Amino acid sequence: MNVASLEDTLHLGAAELGVALLSSQEAKLIAYLELLLKWNKVYNLTAVREPQAMVTQHLLDSLSVLPHLGEVATLVDVGAGAGLPGIPLAIARPQLKVVLADASHKKTSFMQQALLELALPNASVRCERVERLRLSAPADAVICRAFADLKEFARLARHLVAPGGRLLAMKGLYPHEELLQLPPEVVLRDVIPLRVPGLAAQRHLVVMEVR
Protein backbone atom coordinates (compact mmCIF):
# COMPACT_ATOMS: atom_id res chain seq x y z
CA MET A 1 0.00 0.00 0.00
CA ASN A 2 1.44 3.35 -1.07
CA VAL A 3 0.59 5.60 1.88
CA ALA A 4 2.03 8.72 0.20
CA SER A 5 -0.27 8.19 -2.78
CA LEU A 6 -3.27 7.78 -0.48
CA GLU A 7 -2.33 10.95 1.38
CA ASP A 8 -2.08 12.85 -1.92
CA THR A 9 -5.52 11.65 -3.02
CA LEU A 10 -7.00 12.65 0.33
CA HIS A 11 -5.25 16.02 0.45
CA LEU A 12 -6.26 17.03 -3.09
CA GLY A 13 -9.78 15.69 -2.69
CA ALA A 14 -10.39 17.49 0.61
CA ALA A 15 -9.14 20.75 -0.93
CA GLU A 16 -11.54 20.26 -3.84
CA LEU A 17 -14.39 19.79 -1.36
CA GLY A 18 -13.42 22.98 0.45
CA VAL A 19 -12.58 21.03 3.61
CA ALA A 20 -9.49 22.37 5.38
CA LEU A 21 -7.56 19.61 7.13
CA LEU A 22 -4.45 19.83 9.29
CA SER A 23 -1.67 17.40 8.41
CA SER A 24 -2.38 15.64 11.73
CA GLN A 25 -6.02 15.17 10.69
CA GLU A 26 -5.00 13.77 7.31
CA ALA A 27 -2.67 11.36 9.09
CA LYS A 28 -5.52 10.21 11.38
CA LEU A 29 -7.82 9.65 8.40
CA ILE A 30 -5.20 7.48 6.70
CA ALA A 31 -4.58 5.63 10.00
CA TYR A 32 -8.33 4.95 10.19
CA LEU A 33 -8.29 3.61 6.64
CA GLU A 34 -5.32 1.35 7.47
CA LEU A 35 -7.17 0.02 10.51
CA LEU A 36 -10.27 -0.60 8.41
CA LEU A 37 -8.19 -2.50 5.84
CA LYS A 38 -6.68 -4.65 8.59
CA TRP A 39 -9.97 -5.52 10.29
CA ASN A 40 -11.76 -5.97 6.97
CA LYS A 41 -9.70 -9.09 6.22
CA VAL A 42 -11.41 -10.87 9.11
CA TYR A 43 -14.66 -9.04 9.79
CA ASN A 44 -15.79 -8.05 6.26
CA LEU A 45 -16.77 -4.53 7.30
CA THR A 46 -16.85 -3.09 3.78
CA ALA A 47 -17.11 -4.43 0.24
CA VAL A 48 -14.62 -1.80 -0.89
CA ARG A 49 -11.16 -3.36 -0.49
CA GLU A 50 -8.80 -1.35 -2.70
CA PRO A 51 -7.10 1.43 -0.67
CA GLN A 52 -7.39 4.20 -3.29
CA ALA A 53 -11.07 3.38 -3.77
CA MET A 54 -11.53 3.53 0.01
CA VAL A 55 -10.10 7.05 0.11
CA THR A 56 -12.64 8.15 -2.50
CA GLN A 57 -15.69 6.09 -1.58
CA HIS A 58 -15.31 6.22 2.20
CA LEU A 59 -13.15 9.16 3.32
CA LEU A 60 -13.96 11.80 0.70
CA ASP A 61 -17.59 10.70 0.45
CA SER A 62 -17.95 11.16 4.21
CA LEU A 63 -16.17 14.51 4.20
CA SER A 64 -18.39 15.79 1.36
CA VAL A 65 -21.21 16.51 3.85
CA LEU A 66 -19.01 18.54 6.20
CA PRO A 67 -19.60 21.93 4.50
CA HIS A 68 -23.37 21.33 4.87
CA LEU A 69 -23.47 20.60 8.61
CA GLY A 70 -23.69 24.28 9.50
CA GLU A 71 -23.77 24.92 13.25
CA VAL A 72 -24.43 21.30 14.21
CA ALA A 73 -22.59 20.57 17.47
CA THR A 74 -23.94 17.09 18.27
CA LEU A 75 -24.41 14.42 15.63
CA VAL A 76 -25.64 10.82 15.77
CA ASP A 77 -24.50 8.47 13.00
CA VAL A 78 -27.07 5.65 12.86
CA GLY A 79 -26.32 2.36 11.16
CA ALA A 80 -22.74 3.60 11.34
CA GLY A 81 -21.25 0.27 10.23
CA ALA A 82 -17.49 0.77 10.15
CA GLY A 83 -17.91 4.37 11.34
CA LEU A 84 -18.90 6.09 8.12
CA PRO A 85 -19.44 8.99 7.90
CA GLY A 86 -19.13 9.57 11.64
CA ILE A 87 -15.45 8.82 12.26
CA PRO A 88 -14.10 10.93 9.35
CA LEU A 89 -16.39 13.78 10.46
CA ALA A 90 -15.18 13.47 14.07
CA ILE A 91 -11.58 13.62 12.86
CA ALA A 92 -12.17 16.59 10.56
CA ARG A 93 -14.17 18.59 13.13
CA PRO A 94 -12.78 17.91 16.64
CA GLN A 95 -15.36 20.17 18.31
CA LEU A 96 -18.21 18.07 16.91
CA LYS A 97 -19.63 15.50 19.38
CA VAL A 98 -20.42 12.31 17.47
CA VAL A 99 -22.35 9.25 18.64
CA LEU A 100 -21.74 6.17 16.46
CA ALA A 101 -24.64 3.72 16.70
CA ASP A 102 -24.96 0.25 15.20
CA ALA A 103 -26.67 -2.97 16.24
CA SER A 104 -23.77 -5.20 15.11
CA HIS A 105 -21.31 -6.19 17.83
CA LYS A 106 -18.46 -6.78 15.37
CA LYS A 107 -18.94 -3.32 13.85
CA THR A 108 -19.19 -1.54 17.19
CA SER A 109 -16.10 -3.47 18.38
CA PHE A 110 -14.20 -2.15 15.39
CA MET A 111 -15.41 1.41 16.00
CA GLN A 112 -14.43 1.23 19.68
CA GLN A 113 -10.95 0.08 18.72
CA ALA A 114 -10.69 2.83 16.09
CA LEU A 115 -11.62 5.54 18.60
CA LEU A 116 -9.05 4.15 21.02
CA GLU A 117 -6.20 3.94 18.50
CA LEU A 118 -7.03 7.27 16.85
CA ALA A 119 -7.55 9.08 20.18
CA LEU A 120 -10.94 10.60 19.35
CA PRO A 121 -12.43 11.84 22.63
CA ASN A 122 -15.24 13.66 20.78
CA ALA A 123 -16.79 10.39 19.56
CA SER A 124 -18.50 7.51 21.36
CA VAL A 125 -19.99 4.17 20.32
CA ARG A 126 -23.36 2.63 21.15
CA CYS A 127 -24.27 -0.96 20.27
CA GLU A 128 -28.02 -0.48 19.94
CA ARG A 129 -30.84 -0.63 17.44
CA VAL A 130 -31.77 2.90 16.34
CA GLU A 131 -35.34 2.77 17.65
CA ARG A 132 -34.08 1.71 21.10
CA LEU A 133 -31.28 4.25 21.29
CA ARG A 134 -31.71 6.89 23.99
CA LEU A 135 -29.52 9.95 24.49
CA SER A 136 -28.95 12.05 27.59
CA ALA A 137 -30.03 15.09 25.54
CA PRO A 138 -31.46 15.49 22.02
CA ALA A 139 -28.86 15.76 19.26
CA ASP A 140 -28.74 18.61 16.77
CA ALA A 141 -28.80 16.17 13.86
CA VAL A 142 -28.86 12.50 12.90
CA ILE A 143 -27.05 11.28 9.80
CA CYS A 144 -27.17 8.00 7.90
CA ARG A 145 -25.36 6.52 4.93
CA ALA A 146 -26.85 3.50 3.12
CA PHE A 147 -29.05 2.78 6.15
CA ALA A 148 -32.72 2.76 5.11
CA ASP A 149 -35.22 4.53 2.87
CA LEU A 150 -36.17 8.05 3.95
CA LYS A 151 -39.55 7.07 5.45
CA GLU A 152 -37.99 4.34 7.59
CA PHE A 153 -35.05 6.52 8.59
CA ALA A 154 -37.42 9.28 9.73
CA ARG A 155 -39.61 6.81 11.64
CA LEU A 156 -36.69 5.18 13.46
CA ALA A 157 -34.51 8.21 14.18
CA ARG A 158 -36.69 11.26 14.71
CA HIS A 159 -36.89 10.68 18.51
CA LEU A 160 -33.16 11.41 18.71
CA VAL A 161 -33.58 15.12 17.89
CA ALA A 162 -35.79 17.84 19.35
CA PRO A 163 -38.37 19.64 17.17
CA GLY A 164 -36.38 21.69 14.68
CA GLY A 165 -33.57 19.14 14.63
CA ARG A 166 -32.25 17.75 11.37
CA LEU A 167 -32.26 14.32 9.79
CA LEU A 168 -29.54 14.00 7.14
CA ALA A 169 -29.61 11.11 4.68
CA MET A 170 -26.71 10.43 2.32
CA LYS A 171 -28.10 9.04 -0.92
CA GLY A 172 -26.91 8.11 -4.40
CA LEU A 173 -29.38 9.03 -7.14
CA TYR A 174 -31.95 11.75 -6.46
CA PRO A 175 -34.56 9.84 -4.38
CA HIS A 176 -37.74 10.95 -6.18
CA GLU A 177 -39.95 8.08 -5.01
CA GLU A 178 -38.70 8.13 -1.41
CA LEU A 179 -39.38 11.85 -1.09
CA LEU A 180 -43.05 11.25 -1.94
CA GLN A 181 -43.33 8.89 1.03
CA LEU A 182 -42.05 11.22 3.76
CA PRO A 183 -44.15 11.08 6.95
CA PRO A 184 -45.94 14.25 8.15
CA GLU A 185 -43.63 14.44 11.19
CA VAL A 186 -40.75 15.63 9.02
CA VAL A 187 -40.38 18.47 6.53
CA LEU A 188 -38.06 18.35 3.53
CA ARG A 189 -35.65 21.28 3.68
CA ASP A 190 -33.23 20.55 0.84
CA VAL A 191 -31.71 17.94 -1.43
CA ILE A 192 -28.10 18.94 -1.97
CA PRO A 193 -26.08 17.46 -4.85
CA LEU A 194 -22.68 16.30 -3.61
CA ARG A 195 -19.71 16.04 -5.93
CA VAL A 196 -17.16 13.64 -4.52
CA PRO A 197 -13.71 14.03 -6.16
CA GLY A 198 -12.81 10.90 -8.10
CA LEU A 199 -16.34 9.45 -7.91
CA ALA A 200 -18.42 9.42 -11.09
CA ALA A 201 -21.61 8.25 -9.36
CA GLN A 202 -24.29 10.70 -8.26
CA ARG A 203 -24.47 11.59 -4.57
CA HIS A 204 -27.07 13.65 -2.72
CA LEU A 205 -27.65 14.83 0.84
CA VAL A 206 -31.32 14.92 1.87
CA VAL A 207 -31.95 17.44 4.64
CA MET A 208 -35.14 16.99 6.66
CA GLU A 209 -36.41 18.84 9.73
CA VAL A 210 -38.39 17.21 12.52
CA ARG A 211 -41.61 19.05 13.37
Query: What CATH number did the domain enclosing 9 receive?
Result: 3.40.50.150
The SS3 call for residue 140 is: strand
- Residue 117 in contact with residue 87, Cβ under 8 Å? no
> What is the mean pLDDT of the segment spanning 117-135?
97
Mean pLDDT of the chain: 96
- Give the β-pairing of 139-145 and 97-102: unpaired
Q: At what angle do helices 23-43 and 3-17 cross, to 10 degrees?
A: 120
102 is in an annotated binding site: yes
- Which residues, 6+ apart, have CB-to-CB distance to 139 below 8 Å? 74, 75, 76, 99, 160, 161, 165
71 is in an annotated binding site: no
Please compute, for residue 166, the number of CA atoms within 13 A of its CA located in the half-sphere on the CB side. Answer: 22
Other CB atoms within 10 Å distance of the CB of residue 200: 5
In tens, the pLDDT along 22-56 reads: 999 999 999 999 999 999 988 888 888 899 999 99
Give the pLDDT score at 194. Answer: 97
In tens, the pLDDT along 144-184 reads: 998 899 999 999 999 999 999 999 999 999 999 999 999 99
145 is in an annotated binding site: yes
Cα distance between residue 56 and residue 6, in whole Å: 10
What is the pTM for the complete model shown? 0.97
- Give 186's strand partners: 210
203 is in an annotated binding site: no
In tens, the pLDDT along 182-200 reads: 999 999 999 999 999 999 9
In tens, the pLDDT along 58-108 reads: 999 999 999 999 999 999 999 999 999 999 999 999 999 999 999 999 999
Give every strand in the sheet of 74-78, ordered side by side.
123-127, 97-102, 74-78, 139-145, 161-171, 203-210, 186-194
103 is in an annotated binding site: yes
Give the pLDDT score at 106. Answer: 94
5 is in an annotated binding site: no
What is the total count of domains within the chain? 1
> Range of 57's domain?
3-210
Give the pLDDT score at 70. Answer: 94
- Residue 77 in contact with residue 126, Cβ under 8 Å? no
130 is in an annotated binding site: yes
Cα distance between residue 91 and residue 62, in whole Å: 11
79 is in an annotated binding site: yes
Please compute, for residue 134, the number of CA atoms within 13 A of its CA located in the half-sphere on the CB side. Answer: 2
The single-letter DSSP state of residue 167 is E
